[in-house]
Amino acid sequence: MSSIILLQCIATIIVCTSAATVTWLPNSSFKLPENYKDGKLPCSKQTLVFPELVVGSISIADTELTEMILPEEGELILDDILTLGADPAEKNCTDGNAYYIDKTSSSWNQAGVWYSPSFSEATPDSDRVPCFNDIVKFPSDARITVTLPKETQYVKSLYIGDESFTTEQFRQRILQQSEQRQQFVLNEFSTTGLEIGKHMTCTDFGCPCQVVPMKIDCSSKFCPKPTCVDPIKPLGFCCEICGGSILFDADKGFDMLSFSEFVAKYTKDSAQFHIGFAAEIPIRRIQLVVVDKSEYDGSSAEIINSINYNMLDHWYKGPKLASISGSPISRAGLGVKIFVSMFFAVALSLIALYVYYYKVPEVRIPGMSRVVGGSMFSRFQNRSDSIVSLTRRDSVVSTARGPTAFRNPLYDSKRGRVQVEETVVED
C-alpha cells in the first residue's frame, strides 16, 4: 500500500510541477508605455527608433507611425495592422522620435519577465515564476537589473549564460559585481532570497511551486481587450481572459494524474489547460483553467461546463466554483439583432396587408387635380357587386341616397316550395 501511495505522489509531482527551463525575458510588449523612453506610446506623426540589440522578440500590434528604424539584431513580429504615414486628424501628437528601450530593470515576481516553452495561455502569471525544480537562466548578452525575492524561493539550478552557480557562489558573485551587464539587487535582508539545488518537502497532494508563494506584481502587465462577453479572472492572473476555470478543494482520494487525463479527454486539440495549486496554505485547493488554442469561439467555456458536470465525487470535497466567460463579442447581441429584424419584417408585412385590404383615405393636395390615395388602391372583393334586396319585386326602392337596399336570395327558393294563396280583400 505504501508503495502505491508513493507512486501516486511521484505522479502528482511530475504532473503538477514538472521541471522546466525558465528564462529571464523581460516584458517586451509593444503596447506597454514603460518600454518607451518618455513613458508614452508612439503616435502616427513620430518615428519609432529601436535599439541596436533587441533581446527576445517584439510583437508589433495595431499601430500608426511615420516610419521605423529597425534594430541590427533582434526579432520583430508583425502581429496586426501596421500603418505608416502621419494622420493629420490625430490630435495631441507631435513630430519627433519615439525610442523603444529594452526593459532592463525588473523584480523577480514581476509579471511577464519569465518565459518557458511549457507555459501556455492557460498558465496563470503567478505560476510563471520559477518553481522549486526549475532551471533558471539569465542571458549573458543583455544589460539587465534584477531585484531578488524577499521570500525564500527554491530553484533546481541557476545559470548566467553557460555558467552555473550554487547559492553561496551566486551571493559572492553579487557582492563582487562591478561593471557586469547583469546586475542583481539583494533584498532588504541583504540576502539573495534563493535556495539553489535544495529540495522541498512534499505533501500527499504533491509539491507546490514554492513553500511561500510570492504575490505576483501586475503593475507593468499589458492587458489586451478580451474578445468575449463577461471575461473571467482566475486566481493568479493579472488580466481578464476568455475561457473557463474550476476551483475546488481536493479530497483525500484526489489523484492529479487521473484528473489530468480526465481533463485531456475533453480538451483534445481544441483547447489548452493548466492544473495547479491555488496560492494558499495548506495545499488542498486546486484550480483548473481552460482556454481556446486559437481565437476564442466559446469551446473552452463549453469544456469547463462539461468537466464541472462530470467530475467524480472522490476528487473534491465541498462545492466547486466554476467560472465561464460569455460568447465571443463578434456574436454578442446576435439574438437581439434577429429579434429587431423580425419585428420590423412583421410590422412591414402587417402594413402591406392593411394597405392591400383597406382603401387609403383620399388626400387632396391644393394645386393638383389628381386625388392621392383613394384612387390609387382598390379593395379586394370576395363577393359580387350586385345588389341583394329584401323587398318585394313590385316594391319601389328609393335610390335617393344611393343603392342601400339588398334582396333576400332565399325568397325565390322558398316561394318555389310553398304555395301561397293570394286573397283579395275587399274594402
Report the pLDDT value the prediction gives residue 329, as an integer from 0 to 100. Answer: 87
User: Which of residues 140 and 234 earns the better pLDDT score?
Assistant: 234
pLDDT tens, 350-402? Answer: 777 766 666 555 555 555 555 444 444 444 444 444 444 444 445 444 444 44
pLDDT at 290 over 60: yes
Which residues are CB-contacts of 21 (< 8 A; sequence separation ≥ 6)?
A: 116, 117, 134, 135, 137
Report the pLDDT value the prediction gives residue 237, as an integer from 0 to 100. Answer: 95
Q: How many residues would you count in the chain? A: 427
Report the pLDDT value the prediction gives residue 4, as an integer from 0 to 100. Answer: 36
Dihedral of alpha carbons 188, 190, 196, 198, sign: negative
Are 110 and 237 in contact by the 8 Å Cβ rule? The answer is no
Report the pLDDT value the prediction gives residue 356, as an integer from 0 to 100. Answer: 65
* Side chain identity at residue 367, one-letter code: G
pLDDT mean over 16-40: 75
pLDDT mean over 7-22: 51
pLDDT at 253 over 90: no
Report the pLDDT value the prediction gives residue 390, as an integer from 0 to 100. Answer: 45
Q: In which band, very low, low, confident or very high, does the pLDDT at 141 lie, cut at 50, 70 and 90?
A: confident
Lowest mean pLDDT segment, chosen from 3-7, 97-101, 118-122: 3-7
- Please tell me the pTM assigned to this model: 0.64
Are 50 and 100 in contact by the 8 Å Cβ rule? The answer is yes
Report the pLDDT value the prediction gives residue 335, as an integer from 0 to 100. Answer: 54
Task: Please report where in the chains the cell 345588389 appears, as a residue.
Answer: 387
Nearest 5 degrees, angle CA 206-CA 258-CA 5? 45
pLDDT at 103 over 80: no
318 vs 106: CA distance, rounded Å: 40
Cis peptide before 282 (omega within 30 of 0): yes
pLDDT at 15 over 50: no
Report the pLDDT value the prediction gives residue 220, as an integer from 0 to 100. Answer: 77
Report the pLDDT value the prediction gives residue 216, as an integer from 0 to 100. Answer: 92
pLDDT tens, 228-251? Answer: 999 999 999 999 999 999 999 888
Domain ranges of the chain: 2-24+107-196, 33-102, 334-376
Report the pLDDT value the prediction gives residue 102, as an integer from 0 to 100. Answer: 67
pLDDT mean over 262-287: 84
**Which DSSP string do the residues of 362-421 spell out, in sequence order?**
PEEPTT-SSEESGGG-----SS--S--B-S-TTSPPP-TT-S---B-THHHHHHHHS---
Task: Please report where in the chains the cell 503538477 appears, as a residue.
Answer: 16
Report the pLDDT value the prediction gives residue 199, as an integer from 0 to 100. Answer: 77
226 vs 414: CA distance, rounded Å: 83
pLDDT tens, 177-230? Answer: 887 788 899 998 889 999 999 877 666 666 778 888 888 999 878 788 899 999
pLDDT tens, 91-101? Answer: 888 888 988 87
The percentage of residues in the chain with a pLDDT greater than 90, rounded to a whole number, is: 31
